[in-house]
Amino acid sequence: MQINPNNPIGVFDSGVGGLTVVRALMERLPFEHIEYFGDTARVPYGVKSVETIAHYTTQIAQFLLERQVKLLIIACNTMASVSAQVVRDLSPVPVLDVIEAGALAALAASQSRRIGVIGTPTTINSNAYARAIHEVEPDARVVSQACALFVPLVEEGWLDHPVTRLTAQEYLKPVLAERVDTLVLGCTHYPLLKPLLADVTGPQTTLVDSAEAMAERTAALLTDLNLHTPARAPADYHFHVTDVPLRFQTIGERFLGRSLNNVHVVKW
Amino acid sequence: MQINPNNPIGVFDSGVGGLTVVRALMERLPFEHIEYFGDTARVPYGVKSVETIAHYTTQIAQFLLERQVKLLIIACNTMASVSAQVVRDLSPVPVLDVIEAGALAALAASQSRRIGVIGTPTTINSNAYARAIHEVEPDARVVSQACALFVPLVEEGWLDHPVTRLTAQEYLKPVLAERVDTLVLGCTHYPLLKPLLADVTGPQTTLVDSAEAMAERTAALLTDLNLHTPARAPADYHFHVTDVPLRFQTIGERFLGRSLNNVHVVKW
């Protein structure tokens, strides 16, 4: 199959969190068109079963493939951790996922090979980050911690709040006790907590933002496959969501870091 | 339509929270059969749009009506606040909802007619509790507060945790400043936070548990309509869910207060 470099990049997530990946892509690759899909009616995925997540993931990937994307980016850690292979099996275009991007960035950043990973319960229980890190570096020590409350705290807007700080201290205590030198923010919501988490972990720990890691991986892949768009005009961005919930615009813009236009509702 | 008193009571919720209502019903009406529906694949509803909630609610009500329930109980505050009328319009059997039950119980408990209501953002923004209270008592002062983090805190099991206490203090500060004498726990998850909330509000505030209020309303309605089951054998309980997520059994049993059997998965 011949892939057209003018085609958009497809990015998907269970909700608005993947907009942190879109934001990083807009900054790193400003001429690339992007089609985003956020399954806002069925979010969050982090508490659903593996079968249900695989079923929803397939539906979304097919939607974006019908829109002629040149590349699929799984921006949702939960989907990447339990159903990346499902997407790779069905996709005629390349597939990147945040887990792989985050794991590789962590390995590049870590000196001590002691790496912490935080994410939703489903992501952590899937053990996908540890597997991805161990594939490259079998001797690395990976300390994982589920942080179920971070997503609701971010969505409440308590980005720098005593409750969030106390919650972070509680979750990170066992991780820091293992003297990790790198901490992977294994959920697209967590970049918004970066300043607070940096405060809690201290300067001796490098935080790996998987949105930024993904933008780097995407740029490298487009170069490898000669798929950068030749266009030098402003890019088109389209945002497909399954619901427009309360405060969607506010929360979405907080993630995207700019105004959110071209929002299309898909009813399934 | 002649309703058979031997038929089960249908109870539904967006997830496991409605099991607090089932628990109150089991205690108050031990011989009544119960068919429970929890939409665990699509939970939480509190962040979805009104149209989506109405669509899901209709689907669930029809499912239970096909199972010949003699009464429908909307145990989910979010569904009750935005789509109770949708259910009443389609149901040939009586419909009770937690908002009405909670509002009536609050009016019975309050001396000062200054009533606080806490719930999910969608429930609070719908203003449904204030409307239900004002219908009976137009001069009552209703102070509402959305508490988006309480559901995730309960599901994390942090029922008596410093983070939960700090969160409760933050949310309740403006409510207590209005000197309410009664506080409606307007979400089925909140009964599990009752001891902590009672501590934060102090003894001068009566907490209204909408699960208990609903069990009382149900008993009264069955008496009024002569619909109590004549059976004196152990009742049958069936639990229909759209997904069996991680930790479902643990969390479900925490809500139900006993072991959870007869769980059936419905795939939509």
pLDDT tens track for B85-134: 999 999 999 999 999 999 999 999 999 999 999 998 888 988 999 999 99
Is B22 part of any domain? Answer: yes
Residue B183 pLDDT = 98
Q: Looking at the structure, tell me whether residues B128 and B177 fall in a common domain.
A: yes
Residue B247 pLDDT = 75
Is B65 part of any domain? Answer: yes
Residue B48 has pLDDT above 90, yes or no: no
Residues A53-57: contacts with CB within 8 Å, 24+ apart?
A53/A78, A53/A79, A53/A82, A53/A83, A53/A122, A54/A82, A54/A83, A54/A86, A56/A14, A57/A83, A57/A86, A57/A87
Q: Looking at the structure, tell me whether residues A116 and A206 fall in a common domain.
A: yes
> Which residues of chain A does B121 touch, with a Cβ-Cβ cutoff of 8 Å?
246-247
Among chain A residues, the shortest Cα distance to B49 is held by: A245
Give the CATH number for residue A201.
3.40.50.1860
Q: Which residues of B are annotated as a binding site?
A: 13-14, 45-46, 77-78, 188-189
Q: Supply the mean pLDDT for chain B.
A: 94
Strand, coil or helix: what is A239?
strand
Residue B43 pLDDT = 84
Q: Looking at the structure, tell me whether residues B82 and B183 fall in a common domain.
A: no
Q: Please report, rounded to a whole number, the percentage of residues in chain B having pLDDT higher than 70.
A: 100
Lowest mean pLDDT among A23-37, A234-248, B131-145: A234-248
Q: Looking at the structure, tell me whether residues A60 and A144 fall in a common domain.
A: no
Is B2 part of any domain? Answer: no
Average pLDDT over residues B175-204: 96
Lowest mean pLDDT among A2-6, A250-254, B68-72: A250-254
Residue A49 has pLDDT above 90, yes or no: no
Residue A10 pLDDT = 98
Confidence of residue B82 (pLDDT cuts 50, 70, 90): confident
Q: Looking at the structure, tell me whether residues B24 and B104 fall in a common domain.
A: no
- Quote the minimal CA–CA distance from B241 to chain A in Å: 12
Lowest mean pLDDT among A46-50, B35-39, B221-225: A46-50
Q: Please report, rounded to a whole number, the percentage of residues in chain A having pLDDT higher than 70.
A: 100
pLDDT tens track for A202-213: 999 999 998 999
Is A226 part of any domain? Answer: yes
Contact B119/B186 with Cβ under 8 angstroms? yes
> Which residues of chain A does B48 touch, with a Cβ-Cβ cutoff of 8 Å?
40-41, 243, 245
Average pLDDT over residues B140-146: 97
- Quote the minimal CA–CA distance from A240 to chain B in Å: 15
Domain count, chain A: 2
Residue listed under structure tokens 């940096």: A198
Report the DSSP beta bridge partners of residue B13. Answer: B38
Q: Of the residues B210, B227, B255, which one is the last residue of a structural domain?
A: B210
How far is Cα B123 from Cα B104, in angstroms, rounded to an integer?
A: 17
Average pLDDT over residues A166-186: 97
* Structural domain boundaries enclosing A217: 9-97+212-265
Average pLDDT over residues B165-173: 98
pLDDT tens track for A81-117: 889 999 999 999 999 999 999 999 999 999 999 999 9
Q: Looking at the structure, tell me whether residues A128 and A189 fall in a common domain.
A: yes
Q: Supply the mean pLDDT for chain A.
A: 94
Q: Which residue in the set A42, A152, A162 is minimally distant from B152, CB to CB?
A: A152
Average pLDDT over residues B71-80: 94
Residue A81 pLDDT = 87
